[in-house]
Amino acid sequence: MNEENSDTGSYLEIIIYVPKTLADPVSSYLTDNITTSVVFEETENSGITGVKSFIKEPADINQLNRLRLYLAQIAEINNIAIPEIRERSVKAVDWEEEYRHSVKPVEISPELLIRPPWAKAENQYKYEIVIEPKMAFGTGNDESTVNCLKLMQKYFDSGQRFLDFGCGSGILSVFADRLEASYIKAIDNDPVAIDNCLENFELNAVAVRHDIIGGSIGEIKSEEKFDMICANIALKPILQFLKSLIEHTIKNGYLVLSGIFVNELEEIQTALKQAELETVDFIQGKMWLTYCIRK
């Protein structure tokens, strides 16, 4: 361990310059795998965004190597040069406050707005959700979360039961409350996500009967069924838990799967075909795939 860095509270500042359309996926990767928050640095009239974050030193070399592999993967998908990671050691800074100032309201649809607590809506919306973006879990500006919200608005009905599997900030669960769910269960294996979810439930005055639970699929009782399940996670855990997620979906209920890379299309389609599932809706974005399946 580098005791000098630990004592001084130094950080490794990393900046990755990517096309603006890739800023959200890179941001999501960082917050899901390496660090807590990111800051966007816009380069005027260039179409390039700097995705900046800070890692407590000493940095985990394996994490950085996996980040380089991820950047190589998205470069291949988008036919661009592999983005460079620029690094420098800096003294401790209030980077969370810097991040907060970079977060803006996001209009998901003409009816739905996601905003941080300090920002006010310029227009009136039927649904307005307040998300405290401390940890940047699903703050509404990443493609996979936006797709899930759109499918929920289209297929989820008042009075139904909702499972948010891998809840992160709880944004999907809060929207289920706005859509007048009868019961919500939110599950995540990350204690930080659970804390953020609890905070956002309080911010949004979620009153519907609900449970927010740390853990995984084993926390769901075998007899529990849901009208809609959202699993905005990643392909590997989706494949791992697909059978159980299907079992917990009621007959004619909906299973929304997201967090799947576009180059994983063949693998997920093979799995859905083997499970004999009907895809009723499908969104292919720049980086992510989202499926809405009826049991």
> Beta 210-214 vs 183-188: how paired, if at all?
parallel
Number of domains in the chain: 2
Same domain, 183 and 284: yes
Q: In what order do the strands lie in the sheet with 112-115?
A: 106-109, 112-115, 127-130
Residue 267 domain flag: yes
Give the pTM.
Answer: 0.75
Q: What is the pLDDT of residues 213-244, one digit of tens each?
A: 999 999 999 999 999 999 999 899 999 999 99
3-state DSSP assignment of residue 18: strand
* Element at 213 (helix H, strand E): strand 210-214
Of the candidates 97, 85, 102, 82, the one whose C-alpha atom is nearest the C-alpha of residue 13 is 85
Same domain, 68 and 140: no
Rounded to an integer, what distance in angstroms lies between the CA atom of residue 241 and that of residue 190?
A: 17
Same domain, 168 and 276: yes
What is the amino acid identity at position 245?
L
47: left (phi over 0), alpha (psi -120 to 50) or beta: left
The CATH number linked to 258 is 3.40.50.150
Same domain, 47 and 94: yes
Same domain, 47 and 142: no
> Beta 278-284 vs 249-261: how paired, if at all?
unpaired
Same domain, 263 and 155: yes
198-237 core/surface letters (b: 16 or more CB in 10 A; e: else)? ebbbebbebebebebbeebbeebeeeebbbbbbbbbbbeb
9-13, 43-47, 53-57, 157-161: lowest mean pLDDT where? Answer: 43-47
Residue 110 domain flag: no
Same domain, 283 and 142: yes
Query: Domain range for residue 94?
Result: 3-100
Same domain, 51 and 184: no
CB atoms within 10 A of CB 264: 18
Q: What is the pLDDT of residues 71-113, one digit of tens each?
A: 999 999 999 999 999 998 877 665 556 666 667 888 999 999 9
